C-alpha cells in the first residue's frame, strides 16, 4: 500500500501542474510565442538570471549564521551547493528540497540532520512573515491606483471578478485545496520526529537557535536580500520583452507576491499555479492576455532551466569536494 501512496504523491503534483498548463495553453498561438522568444532582449534576461543566483547564496550565508549557535560550522561552499541541489530536487519531487539540503549537509559537512532541519523550519517562518509583509506593502502601494481606477471607471470591486471564468474559479479552488492538503500532510509528518527524544530535542534546538543568532542584523539583512533578489529576478525579466517592458514596479511586485503564494501549491517549481496567478494579476492590470500568457511561460521555463543548471553545478561541485576529501586522506 505504501508504494502505491508514494506513487500517487509523486504523480498528482505533476498531473495538477500539467492540467493547469494544458487549460491555459490549449488555444495558444505558438507562432506568436516563438516570435516573442526571438525578439527577447537577452541582456535583460541574463541580468535577471544573475539575480536568480543571489538568493541561494544569501540563503547559504543565512543558514550558516543559524547553525553557528548549535556549534555547527559547515563550509559556505557546501551550504551553497546543498541549496542549489535542493532546488533542483524539488523539480522532481515537490517540497523534497528541505530534506535534501539537510541530508546533503550531513553527508558532506557532518552537520546534525535534525538540527539543520530545525533551522530550516525557522527560515520558513521568517520567510513567510516577510512575504506577508511584502504582500501587504505591495497592496497598499497599489491602493491609490486601484481607488482611482474605480472612481474613473465607476466599476464596483466585485465586477473585477468577472474577468474570471468558471474554469478560473475551479483552478483557484483546486490550488487552494492542494496547498491546504500539503500543509495538513506536513503537520501529520511531524510525528516522524517523535520516534526518538534525541531527534526531537535536536529539532527544537534548531528552531530555537534563531534567538541566539549573532549578529541578528546580518540574519535579517540576508533575509531581506533573499526576497529582494527574487523580486529583481522576476521584475527585470519584464524588460526582456517589449510587450511587458512598461509594467509598473509596484504592479510587478504585487504579481510577484501573488505568484510566490501560488508556489505553495506542491507542483514542480510552481508550474501551473504560478503561471495562472501571475497571468491573472497582470491581465487585471490591463495587459493583453496573449503576450502575458507567453511571458509567464517563457520566464518560468528560462528560470526553471537556471534551477536545473545550478543544481547540476552544485551536484558536480559536491562530487569534487568528495574526491578532494578522499585525496587528502591518502
Residue 185: asked if its preceding bond is cis (omega within 30°), the reply is no
Closest CA to 266 of 168, 170, 169, 180: 180
Closest CA to 86 of 65, 117, 110: 117
Burial of 169 (0-12, 13-18, 19+ CB in 10 A): exposed
Q: C-alpha angle with apex 259: 99 to 170, nearest 5 degrees?
A: 100
Q: C-alpha angle with apex 226: 225 to 228, nearest 5 degrees?
A: 60
In this prediction, residue 2 carries a pLDDT of: 58
Tens place of pLDDT per residue across the chain (330 aa) = 556 656 666 687 788 788 888 888 888 899 999 999 999 999 999 999 999 999 999 999 999 999 998 899 999 999 999 999 999 999 988 878 999 999 999 999 999 998 899 889 889 889 989 999 998 898 888 777 666 544 554 445 555 555 555 555 555 565 566 556 555 554 555 444 444 454 455 555 556 667 788 898 999 999 999 999 999 999 999 999 999 999 999 999 999 998 998 888 778 888 888 999 899 889 888 899 999 999 999 999 999 999 999 999 999 999 999 888 777 665
Burial of 99 (0-12, 13-18, 19+ CB in 10 A): middle
Q: Name 207's Cβ contacts closer than 8 Å, sequence gap at least 6.
A: 118, 119, 121, 122
Per-residue pLDDT of 133-172, as tens digits, reads 998 898 888 777 666 544 554 445 555 555 555 555 555 5
For the whole model, what pTM was predicted? 0.82
Closest CA to 275 of 23, 13, 93: 23
Look up residue 282 and give its three cell numbers: 497582470
Query: What is the C-alpha separation between 155 and 84, in angstroms, rounded?
Result: 46
Query: What is the C-alpha separation between 315 and 85, in angstroms, rounded?
Result: 6
Amino acid at each position: 500500500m505504501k508504494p502505491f501512496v508514494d506513487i500517487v504523491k509523486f504523480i498528482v503534483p505533476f498531473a495538477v501542474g500539467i492540467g493547469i498548463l494544458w487549460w491555459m495553453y490549449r488555444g495558444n498561438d505558438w507562432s506568436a510565442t516563438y516570435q516573442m522568444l526571438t525578439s527577447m532582449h537577452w541582456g535583460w534576461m541574463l541580468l535577471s538570471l544573475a539575480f536568480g543566483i543571489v538568493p541561494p547564496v544569501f540563503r547559504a550565508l543565512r543558514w550558516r549564521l543559524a547553525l553557528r549557535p548549535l556549534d555547527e560550522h559547515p563550509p559556505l561552499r557546501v551550504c551553497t551547493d546543498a541549496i542549489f541541489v535542493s532546488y533542483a530536487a524539488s523539480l522532481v519531487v515537490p517540497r523534497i528540497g528541505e530534506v535534501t539540503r539537510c541530508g546533503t549537509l550531513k553527508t558532506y559537512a557532518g552537520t546534525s540532520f535534525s538540527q539543520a532541519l530545525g533551522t530550516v523550519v525557522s527560515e520558513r517562518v521568517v520567510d513567510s512573515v516577510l512575504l506577508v509583509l511584502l504582500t501587504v506593502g505591495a497592496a497598499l502601494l497599489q491602493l491609490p491606483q486601484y481607488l482611482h481606477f474605480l472612481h474613473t471607471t465607476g466599476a464596483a470591486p466585485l465586477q473585477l471578478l468577472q474577468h474570471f471564468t468558471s474554469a478560473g474559479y475551479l483552478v483557484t479552488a483546486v490550488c487552494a485545496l492542494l496547498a491546504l492538503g500539503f500543509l495538513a500532510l506536513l503537520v501529520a509528518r511531524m510525528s516522524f520526529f517523535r520516534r526518538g527524544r534525541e531527534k526531537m530535542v535536536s529539532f527544537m534546538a534548531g528552531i530555537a537557535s534563531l534567538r541566539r543568532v549573532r549578529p541578528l542584523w546580518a540574519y535579517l539583512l540576508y533575509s531581506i536580500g533573499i526576497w529582494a533578489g527574487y523580486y529583481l529576478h522576476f521584475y527585470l525579466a519584464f524588460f526582456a520583452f517589449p510587450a511587458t517592458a512598461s509594467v509598473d514596479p509596484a504592479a510587478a511586485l504585487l504579481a510577484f507576491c501573488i505568484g510566490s503564494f501560488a508556489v505553495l501549491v506542491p507542483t514542480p517549481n510552481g508550474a501551473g499555479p504560478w503561471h495562472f496567478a501571475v497571468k491573472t494579476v497582470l491581465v487585471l492590470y490591463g495587459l493583453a492576455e496573449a503576450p502575458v500568457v507567453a511571458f509567464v511561460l517563457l520566464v518560468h521555463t528560462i528560470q526553471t532551466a537556471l534551477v536545473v543548471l545550478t543544481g547540476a553545478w552544485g551536484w558536480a561541485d559536491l562530487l569534487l569536494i568528495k574526491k578532494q576529501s578522499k585525496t587528502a586522506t591518502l
